[in-house]
Amino acid sequence: MKNGMIISLKASAVVLAVCLAATGCAKLPEKLVSPMLKIEPALVDNREMYRLTLNTGLQNENNSTALLDVKGSVYFKAAGSKSPRVMTLPFVVPVILPFDTGLIDIEKTFAENEIMPLVKLLGSDREKLQSEKLLERTFMDDSTIGFEINGYAKKDIIDLLKERLNEKNQ
Amino acid sequence: MKKINDSRIYLAGAITTLVVSLVFGAVSFYSILFVEPKVERLLRPAESAGAHYKQAYIILREPQLFAGYSNFDAEGMSVKNSLAFFDKQIYSGEEIDDSRVAYLDLLLDRRKKGSGLGRNTMVFFMMLSLLFWGLFIQERMSAAKQSS
């Protein structure tokens, strides 16, 4: 019984070590860097639409791991952990080198019924947006804007740079 | 009253500190004798070529044991910024020109400081080991005297 317990503890330790080695310990970005959001009325095919522009970034704080093909989405929601998301914008960042910021630039056009929940969330409304022609937010509360990463690959920076050098030399 | 024989403790201390000293010494002297001269040759080659700077950077990108790239004080920020710059430069296939050699020297200097610190730590542990060996020999001699 005691031997069995020792063996199962050893097996668990080995499995844990293998899992840790497989997952590695790359640190993922935890917040969006200086998000800037613009919503402006636009005419598309003679239809009244709204153009949304979001510029932000994700910082790679790892010192030797590059993040590749980072796929995820930026979302907007009212304050409160259980509030539903009013809009989700998917993004892909091809590469974020160590100590660098991968830029997320999203430009998308929406119909009125799609954009208005976000406009209201940001404290404006249709009339105000039509009269001012622009809704801009540069300092956004972390409870209003968030992001999630759905997939990424990681690579040691030295291997990545060696590959790039070899590609260039070939 | 019989004196307690501490020679086993001294022997264990002497061997442990000697092993630590040898490990630190090996890592530091590998950098001092092989890595740093190689980087120097790549940074100051007979004929100027950007590719040499890139090779030198890739060697420097692997940090020395005592000069890692994870924690930076105010002085180290220039190193952090240089790493970010050179990573981007090489990844995007840009050349590294002569004007940037000063920043590569900065990275080399950090490595040299790291290997210097490793060498000094080796000396410290070596002295500690010698002290333990001395105590061990003295303990063995006094134990032999007591038994005779």
The full set of domain ranges for chain A reads 26-169
Average pLDDT over residues B74-101: 91
Phi, psi torsion values for A143, nearest 5 degrees:
-80, -15
In a domain, residue B127? The reply is yes
Closest CA to A74 of A91, A60, A94, A59: A91
Interface pTM, i.e. ipTM: 0.80
What is the tens place of the pLDDT at every residue in A119-128? 999 888 889 9
d(C-alpha A156, C-alpha B108), whole Å = 21
Distance from the B109 Cα atom to the nearest Cα atom in chain A, whole angstroms: 18
Alpha helices in B62-100 (DSSP H): 77-91
Closest CA to A118 of A74, A87, A73: A87
Beta bridge partners of A73: A90, A148
What is the tens place of the pLDDT at every residue in A128-158? 988 988 999 887 777 889 999 999 999 999 9
Beta bridge partners of A96: A67
**Burial per residue of A24-55, b for 16 or more beta-carbon CB atoms within 10 angstroms, e otherwise:** eebeebeebeebebebebeeeeeeebbbbebb
Hey, is B146 helix, strand or coil?
A: helix
Q: Among A63, A97, A162, whose Cβ lies nearest the Cβ of B70? A: A63
Distance from the B16 Cα atom to the nearest Cα atom in chain A, whole angstroms: 27
d(C-alpha A68, C-alpha A79), whole Å = 31
d(C-alpha A100, C-alpha A95), whole Å = 10
Residue B45 confidence (pLDDT): 73
Q: Compute the count of residue pairs across chains A and B with CB atoms less than 8 Å apart.
A: 45
> Is the pLDDT reported for residue A1 higher than 50?
no
In a domain, residue B140? The reply is yes
Q: Please give the model's pTM, rounded to 2 decimal places.
A: 0.80
Give me the domain span that covers residue B63: 7-147
In a domain, residue B2? The reply is no
Q: How many domains does chain B have?
A: 1
